[in-house]
Structures are given as C-alpha cells and as structure tokens.
Amino acid sequence: MIVVEDLHKHFGGFHAVDGASLEIAKGSITGLIGPNGAGKTTLFNVIAGNLPATAGRVLMNGEEITGLTPHELFHKGLLRTFQIAHEFSSMTCRENLMMVPAGQSGETLWNTWFGRKRIADEERALRAKADEVLEFLTIEHLADHKAGQVSGGQKKLLELGRTMMVDAQIVFLDEVGAGVNRTLLNTIGDAIVWLNKERGYTFCMIEHDMDFIGRLCDPVIVMAEGKVLAEGAASEIMQNEAVIEAYLGRGLKNKVKAEADA
Amino acid sequence: MDLLNALVAFLNFVFVPGVAYGSQLALGALGVTLIYGILRFSNFAHGDTMAFGAMATILMTWWLQSLGVSLGPLPTALLALPVGIAATALLVLGTDRLVYRFYREQKAAPVILVIVSMGVMFMMNGLVRFIIGVDDQRFADGARFIITAREFKEMTGLREGLAIKSTAVLTVVVAIIVVIALFWFLNKTRTGKSMRAFSDNEDLALLSGISPERVVAITWIIVAALATIAGVLYGLDKSFKPFTYFQLLLPIFAAAIVGGLGNPLGAIAGGFIVAFSEVTITYAWKKVAGYVLPSWEPDGLVQLLSTDYKFAVSFAILIVVLLFRPTGLFRGKAV
Ligand SMILES: Nc1ncnc2c1ncn2[C@@H]1O[C@H](COP(=O)(O)OP(=O)(O)OP(=O)(O)O)[C@@H](O)[C@H]1O
Ligand SMILES: [Mg+2]
C-alpha cells in the first residue's frame, strides 16, 4: 500500500531520517517503534506532506506521492494524527469532527449563497455522523464542549475520531495511546481494530507501549537513528538482539526471556 | 438647559464624528485582522488597498454621474461600489498570485511578508496616484445633511445645533450591515468555518482536506470588499486624497492590535476605542465646559492635543497596548 524508498530528511547537517526504506501492507496494522529521537515523527511528517523530503520517494498503491501537500493526500485517503494532539480550539468537539469531510457543497462561495438547501441536508448528515463517532469513542457528552478545553486524552480520542469521519485508506497514528489511561487505551485499541476489520483501514502507528503494540500490531518496524533497524512480528522483535540493544534494554529482555522459559 | 446644550455640543462634535470614524476604522481593522489571522502577516498595503478601492469606485461614480444616473438622496457611489470591489478583488488576487504566493511556498517568515507588503504598498501607492492624481477628489452627491444645525436649533430652541451628515449615518448603517454579514459568514457557513479553522490551526486544517489556496483566495476577496467599503465610506465622509489613506494605516493597525490581532470582534471594538480616543483628546472642550461650569471661564481651548497631532494618539495607544497587553483586549495572537 505504502512503499518508502531510501527516504532522507536532513535538518541542516543533522540526518533525522537517514535512508529509511519500508513497506506497509494493505490491511495491516503496522507498528513503528524506536527510541526517542529515532526519526519516527519526522518520517510521518515527510510521508504525510508536512515536510519536504531531502531525498527518496514515497509511493502509495504504486503511484508516487512524494511532495504532495497534506490536503491533496487527504483526498487520496491518507490521514494522520499528531503526537501532540491538534484541535480547532475555538470550536466544539462536534464542530471539529464536522470540519473534516472536505469537498462539500458549502465550500464554494456560490453555494454558500445560492445552494442553501443542499448545504442544509449535508450539514444534517454530517452532524449525525459526528455524533455517531463521538458515541463510538464514548465522548458523546463532550459534543458541545470547546475542543480547546477537553483533557489531553480526550483530544487524542478526538484525533482518532477525525479519521473516522471519512473513508480513509491509510491512517498514520503518532502515539495515540500516549498519556491515556488504561480503559481509554482499550477503547482506542478496540476502535483501531474495528476500523481495520470492518472498514478496511490500513494503520501505521507509532507507539512506545510494548503491550499495546504486541496486542495490535503485525508486523512491527523498528527505527533507530533515522534508519530501519529490524522488521517482523511483535514477538520476534522483542527477542531481536539489535533491537534490545537499541531500544528495549536488558531489563525487558530478561523479562521476555523469563516468560518464554516459563 | 445648559446641560442640554452641553450634551448637544458633545453629540455634535464628539459622539457623531466618533461613531462615523470608528465605523470606518473598524472596517479597515477587520481587513487587517483577517489577513493576519489567515495569512499570518501584518499587511502594510491595506491603507493603499482602501485607496485603490475608493479610486475604482470614484471612477465608476463619475462615469455613472456623466450618464445622469443618480440614487436620489443617496450617493451614486453606492451604485458604483460593486464595481470598485470587483476591481480591488482582481488587484489583490493578482498581487497574491504574483507576489505573496511565492513567499508562501517558501514558507517565508512573517517578518519577510511584512516587508514584502511594504513593497506592495509602494506599488499600489504609485498606481493610485498615477491613475487619479494626488489631489483631493470630491465624489459625494445626494443629500448632504439629514438634519442641519440650523434646523435643529429651530426645532428644539437650543443654542447649540446638532448637524448630522447623511454620510455619517450611511457609514454607520453600511458598517452594521457589513459586520453582521461577515460574522454570519464566518460562524455559520462552511467556507467561513474553514477560514476560522485555518486561522486556528493551519496544520490540522490542511489535514482535514481544506485547500489552503482556496481559503487564501476567499480571504483576499473578502478583504478587498472590506477595504473598498471602508475606503469609500471614508472618502464620502471626508474627501478622497491618496495620502490620507496611507496615514490611516496607523490608526487602523492601532485598532486591530488593541482588539487583539486576528480577532474580528476585537477589531471592531478597537476601531471605536481608537476613534473615540482621538476625537476626545483633540476636541476643544471649551464650549462644553462653558455650559457645564458657567462660573469657570477657561482661558485656553481646553484641548489636550492639537488636531495636527491626532496620529500621536494612535501611536500612544499602540505603545501602551504592546507594553502591557500584547495580545490585545480580546486575546488575539500575540504580536
Ligand atoms: N524541525 C526540526 N528541526 C530540527 N531538528 C528536528 C526537527 N524535527 C525533528 N528534529 C530532530 O530530528 C530527530 C528526530 O525527531 P523525531 O521527532 O522524528 O523523533 P521521534 O522518533 O518521533 O521521537 P519520539 O519518540 O520522542 O517522539 C530529533 O533529534 C529532533 O531533534
Ligand atoms: Mg515522535
């Protein structure tokens, strides 16, 4: 679905992404892990069109998408969330969700004044959909709250909710689970699995919580220092010497080993 | 009786001119604030955009007048206004395509865009003077006064007269209509909401599939309309002279910043704050004081500042706000 070929992103002399190549299979929930500063978010930024690539290519379904703008990628069905949740702070949660599906009649100046009936119908459908999404994420009571004022975890849910407002093909999630309590984390995990199974979303998710990764993701890609270090099933990755060295640390290895022995 | 006279003098010399001037500044500041909120730079060319809009409208008005078209008591300029707006919209869209877009694509820093807008300002400045000249132009026609000072005195028997110019009333009425339409547009329509979304969080707006070029184009069209309307109202109320529009830039920016840059409601409040400060500080209160305190015979004019220095008022307000509350009264973006 997505192929990244020898991608580089340099900030001055610093190589944040340094020749990363990877593939995300259609219908998968691919995990992306790695130490802080490995270049994971930067990789997302380049793929999603927020930053220009220094070198390399990104393909989506065989078609080159390097250098397209975020809104062009949106219309191709490529969506992302941010590590630090973004929201339209002065709008309500419902309005935030209703902003998403672009390309509606109300967006031309002409229709704003002369196509009022059609806009009203669309608005109603959109509102119903937004309410449905809020309910699915168990935050329907926040519908009329200003998005700037809800909690950090709730903003994360709202971020996920935005991707449910349209029929996305692939969604890049940047630490949706970070700073979220266990129950909420399960809600998010369930939502991701449901979207993957029922609506055919492909996911690529950055996450630091290895339990969460192990439960959802297959395969898992490990990045370190801007490069892809390893790729494989979650259980394999946790055994991989190089990965343990770079990311997981000895403590976890012993734990995993103990579990394997038992 | 004396208190009534004092009140009438106050209304006549302070309140009515203040409201009219405040409306003009508010419309100007709205344009500046929209550009700041969405394109993220302070547009120094805004005063000259107003001058261009007014000029285009004047040329159209003259042509209509030469054909003998008239709106009766209303100024013919109202009829010419749509043409003026269209011409200005074309000018700013063209400028955006030729100039600003280049810097947007480079993701240039706001400071660079400010300097670029100064360049645009000089170009527009020259363009307007080249076409219509540097002199004063009169284009107001229709009824001059709703009520003259003499009529008012005869009606009420007061010693003070209250003259209300029709252009002052027209200014306020048009400003109210424009502001209501703008707020309806920004808050209720989808296009308006995408503009607000874009101003709130650009990254997220892009990810929500909102096309930046379309938002930018629509913003420029709205700004052209606001600038032209403000420019024409100011020209009708006073007179049209290219240089005065350049000077208006200071009070307009003061208004936008007092209210909080990027905040439309703030721009309106700021417009009136600046206008009333200017008018009250430069007005000679001798007459009003004479009615209120007949025993007190002031020697001077009881004028805090000569009208020659009226721009100092905007400047002082600007400095005070920037020192003590840089986000403005309504919490816009910090400058
Ligand atoms: N705009 C930028 N300018 C300069 N350096 C940057 C920029 N963005 C990221 N970097 C650097 O690139 C490196 C990779 O950052 P990135 O945000 O991609 O890490 P990450 O893998 O997402 O880490 P984390 O797990 O902490 O989120 C970091 O060292 C960071 O300092
Ligand atoms: Mg990151």
Size of interface A-B (CB pairs under 8 A): 82
Interface contact B194-A69, CB threshold 8 A = no
In angstroms, the CA B174 to CA A205 distance is 53
At position B36, the amino acid (one-letter code) is Y
Residue by residue, pLDDT tens for chain B (335 residues) are 788 888 888 898 899 999 999 999 999 999 999 999 999 999 999 999 999 999 999 999 999 999 988 888 889 999 999 999 999 999 999 999 999 999 988 888 989 999 999 999 999 999 999 999 999 988 888 888 888 888 888 888 888 888 888 999 999 999 999 999 999 999 888 888 889 888 888 888 888 888 888 899 999 999 999 999 999 999 999 889 999 999 999 999 999 999 988 889 999 999 999 999 999 988 888 777 778 787 777 777 777 878 788 888 889 988 998 888 888 888 666 44
Mean pLDDT, to the nearest integer, of A256-261? 62
Residue numbers of the domain that contains A43: 2-261
What atom in ligand 1 is closest to the CA of residue A11? 4
pLDDT score of B244 = 92
What's B38-62 look like in SS3?
A: HHCCCCCCHHHHHHHHHHHHHHHHH
Beta carbons within 10 angstroms of residue A77's beta carbon: 16
Please give, rounded to a whole number of angstroms, the shortest distance from the CA of B114 to a CA of chain A: 24
pLDDT score of B332 = 64
In this structure, which residue's CA is closest to atom 18 in ligand 1?
A: A39
In this structure, which residue's CA is closest to atom 3 in ligand 1?
A: A11
In angstroms, the CA B168 to CA B24 distance is 10
In angstroms, the CA B205 to CA A72 distance is 12
**Mutation probe of ligand 1 site: the residue of A10, A11, A176, A210 with most atoms within 8 A of C-beta:** A11
Contact A67, A60 (CB under 8 A): no
pLDDT score of B311 = 85
pLDDT score of A108 = 58
**Mutation probe of ligand 1 site: the residue of A10, A17, A32, A40 with most atoms within 8 A of C-beta:** A40
At position B248, the amino acid (one-letter code) is L
Most confidently modeled of A56-70, A206-220, B40-54? B40-54
Nearest CA in chain A to B198: A88
Nearest CA in chain B to A110: B191
**Closest Cα to residue A58, out of A89, A12, A22?**
A22
Is the pTM higher than 0.90?
A: no
pLDDT score of B221 = 96
The set of long-range contacts for A139-146, using a CB threshold of 8 Å and a minimum separation of 24, is A139/A93, A142/A93, A143/A92, A143/A93, A143/A94, A144/A92, A144/A93, A144/A94, A145/A92, A145/A93, A146/A89, A146/A90, A146/A91, A146/A92
Mean pLDDT, to the nearest integer, of A165-174? 90
Of B185, B191, B207, the CB nearest to A107: B191
A180 phi, psi to nearest 5 deg: -120, 140
Contact B46, B32 (CB under 8 A): yes
Contact A69, B211 (CB under 8 A): no
What atom in ligand 1 is closest to the CA of residue A34? 21
Structural domain total, chain A: 1
Of B193, B211, B214, the CB nearest to A99: B193
Contact B88, B56 (CB under 8 A): yes
Residue A187: CATH number of its domain = 3.40.50.300
In angstroms, the CA A110 to CA A117 distance is 13
Contact B232, B301 (CB under 8 A): no
At position B334, the amino acid (one-letter code) is A
Rounded to a whole number of angstroms, the distance between the first and last alpha carbons of chain B is 49
DSSP B106: T
Beta carbons within 10 angstroms of residue A7's beta carbon: 25
Taking CA atoms, A206 is separated from A30, A45, A169, A176, in Å, by 9, 12, 17, 8
In angstroms, the CA B94 to CA A15 distance is 39
Q: How far is the CA of A16 from the centre of ligand 1 (A)?
A: 6
Interface contact A71-B194, CB threshold 8 A = no
Q: What six digits make up the tokens of A91?
A: 């709008």
Please give, rounded to a whole number of angstroms, the shortest distance from the CA of B143 to a CA of chain A: 33
Q: Does domain B2-324 have CATH number 1.10.260?
A: no
Crossing angle of helices B166-188 and B212-237, rounded to 10°: 170
Q: List pLDDT tens digits, range A95-152.
A: 999 888 755 545 556 666 666 677 777 888 889 989 999 998 888 899 999 998 888 8
Q: Does A232 touch chain B (CB under 8 A)?
A: no
